A and B are shown apart, each in its own frame.
Chain A
Amino acid sequence: MKEIVIMSGKGGTGKTSFTAALGVLAGKQAIVADCDVDAANLHLLYQPEILEDHNFLSGKLAVIDYDTCIDCGVCRDKCAFDAIDLTDGKYVINEISCEGCAVCSYLCPEHSIEMKDNHAGKWFISKSRFGTWMVHAHLDIGQDNSGKLVSKVKDEAKKLAKKNEIPFLLVDGPPGVGCPVISAFAGVDHVLIITEATQSGFHDLKRLTELIEFFKAQASCVINKYDLNEPISGTIEEFCNGHSIPVLEKIPFDETFYETLQNGKTIVESENKNLKSKIEHIWQFLKNVEG
C-alpha cells in the first residue's frame, strides 16, 4: 500500500479540494483519511454514508459526587482556571473552562471529585458517493486538536486499507507544521504540497520542506492561484527546483474552481476540462511514485 499525504502549511490554499478530487479519480483504489480534524470538511464534498461511528475520548474532566461533597469550597479556591462556580449553594464544574488538571480531585478533603474521560468528539468509517472509503473525525465544540486524533484517524485508515488490500491511502493532512503534522508524516511514501502564490504560502512551504528533508520523504508540489502574484510563484518554483521537489502543476485563479465547491462538488466533476486534465496529470504522477 502506498501512502500519500497532502499538506499545505497555512489554510485556504485548496488542499482539501485537491485531496477530494484525487480521491474521486482513485475511486475504489484508495482510502481517504481526513486528518485535517480542525476543519474536517472532506465529508461535505463526499456526502458519505456512515458505516461505523466511535467515540473519541481525550483529556479529563472533573466530576463532583454530591452524595459526599460537604460544600467546603476548597476545589473552587484551588482551581487555577475559574472552572468551579458556586450556584445555588452548590459547587458546579464549568465543563468549558475545566482543563482536566485534577488539582481539585487531589485536594478535595472528602475525595468527592473524580476525573472522568472527556468526550472530545467522534471518528467514523464511511463510504463516499463514489464508493471510495473514508475515515474522518469530528471534534465537539470547544475541544482542541492534538496529534492524538490525527494518529487515530490515520491508523484506522491504514488498518482498513490493509484488511481490504486497497493499494492507496490518501491523507488530507492537518494545517501548520506542529505536532499533528509530524503525526501525519509517520509512514508516508510521498508528500504532495499544495501551496499558493502568496508570501505566507511560500513561508509555510519552506517550513514544510525542512520537515520533508528531515524525514527523507519524497515530495512534489502544486502551486494554486499562481497568477495572484506571479513573482512569488516564480520564487516558489525556483525554491522547489533547488530542493528536488517537482512542481507538477500551476493552477490559475479560476472561477469554476470556486463554483464547483459552492455546488458541493469536487473539481474533477466540473465542466472545466483544463482544470480536470491538470488534476488527472497529478494523479498519474502520484500513482507511479515509488513506494
Chain B
Amino acid sequence: MMKIAVASGKGGTGKTFISTNLAYIAADQGSVHLFDLDVEEPNAHLFFPERVRDSRAVRRMIPIVNAEICDHKGICTQVCEYHAIISLATTTMVFPELCHSCYGCLELCPTRAISEGFKEIGKIHRSDTGGLHLITGELKVGESAAPSLISETKTSVPQEAQINIYDAPPGTSCPVIEAVKDMDYIILVTEPTPFGLHDLDLMVQTINQIDRPYGVVVNKSQAGNNLIESYCTEHGIEIIARFAQDINIARAYAQGKIVSAVFPEIRTRFETLLQRIRERMI
C-alpha cells in the first residue's frame, strides 16, 4: 500500500488534473482510493460523475444552553474568543459556524447551564468506478472546521487499497498540513510563472516542517522556461514530471474529461510518473 498526496500552493495550477489522471491510470494496476481533501471546493467528482454510493455526516461539539438554568450574565460571551455565543437580556444564542469547539463556555459557565451538543460540519461521500473508489470530503458552506473534516475523510474507509491518492486543499495553512503529514510521497504541482514559483516556495517551506519525501510536477511547462528548474536545482528538489501547456489539453479538461482517457501520450506520461514515485519510495 502507498499513500501519495497531490498539493499546490495556490488554486488553478492543475492539482486536480494531476490527482484525477494519476488515479485513473493507477486503477489499471491495482485498487485505488482517491480522497478529495479539498473540502471547501471538492471537484474531483466532476471527472468521475458516477452515482454516490453512500454519504455520511461528520459532526463536532457545539454548546447547548439550557434556558431554564441560564441567568444571562454573559460570562460565556466574555470568554468566547470567536464571538460564537451571544448573551442578550433574556436569551443566549449559539452560532455553530463560528464555534471552534474549545469547550471554554462549558468549563466556565457559573450556573452550569451549558452542555455538549453536536453539529454537522460536512459530509463524506463515496462512489465507485471499477477499481477506483472516490472518497470526497465536503465542508458545509461557511464552516471553518476544515482540519477535522480532512482527518475524518482520510480515515473514513479501511485503507485496504493498493494505492491511496490524496487531493490536498490549496494554500499553506493548517488544512494542508493535516492532509499531507503522514504521506509516503508528496507531489507539489506548480506552473512556470513568478506566481507559481512564489507559491511553490511557500509550499516547500510548509512541507519542510513535516519531513516527508516530495517532488515537483511542472504543469503548463514551456520549452526554454527554466524558472522552476533553477529554483529546484538550487534547493535540491527533484522535478518528477512536466506537462506542457497545450490548448487541446486545457479544452478537454474544461469540458470535464479525463485527459489520459483521450490522449494516449498523456496517459504514458502519467504511467511514468507513477513508476517514478514507486521507485522514490523504496
The answer to A–B direct touch (Cβ < 8 A) is yes
Q: How far is the CB of A281 from chain B (nearest CB, A)?
A: 24
Q: Is the CB of B247 within 8 A of A253?
A: yes
A235 interfacial by beta-carbon distance below 8 Å: no
**Which residues of A sit under 8 angstroms from B127, Cβ to Cβ?**
none
Q: From B105, which residue of chain A is reached at the shortest CB distance?
A: A103
Kindly state the separation between the CA atoms of A41 and B197 in the bound complex, as whole angstroms: 10
Of A13, A100, A199, which contacts B81 at CB under 8 A? A100
- Give the A-B pair count, Cβ closer than 8 A: 105
Q: Is the CB of B220 within 8 A of A101?
A: no
**Beyond A80-B101, A96-B174, A262-B225, is A39–B250 a contact (Cβ under 8 Å)?**
no
Write out, one digit per residue, whether chain B residues 145-175 have a CB within 8 A of any chain A CB (1) or not (0): 0000000000000000000000000111110
**Which residues of B sit under 8 angstroms from A41, Cβ to Cβ?**
10, 194-195, 198-199
B206 interfacial by beta-carbon distance below 8 Å: yes
- Chain B interface: which size bin? 35 or more
Q: From A138, which residue of chain B is reached at the shortest CB distance?
A: B202
**Which residues of A sit under 8 angstroms from B13, Cβ to Cβ?**
12
Of B108, B172, B198, which contacts A141 at CB under 8 A? B172
**What count of chain A residues pass the 8 Å CB interface test?**
44
**Beyond A78-B107, A141-B202, A255-B245, is A262–B254 a contact (Cβ under 8 Å)?**
no
**What are 30 A-B pairs at a CB distance below 8 A?**
A12-B12, A39-B10, A39-B199, A41-B194, A44-B194, A44-B198, A59-B81, A60-B81, A78-B103, A96-B174, A96-B209, A99-B100, A101-B104, A103-B102, A103-B104, A106-B104, A141-B206, A143-B173, A197-B254, A225-B250, A228-B251, A229-B254, A255-B245, A258-B193, A258-B220, A258-B222, A258-B245, A259-B222, A261-B194, A261-B195
Residues of B within 8 A of A (CB): 10-13, 41, 43, 79, 81-82, 100-104, 107-108, 142, 170-174, 177, 192-195, 198-199, 202, 205-206, 209, 220, 222, 225, 227, 245, 247, 250-251, 254-256
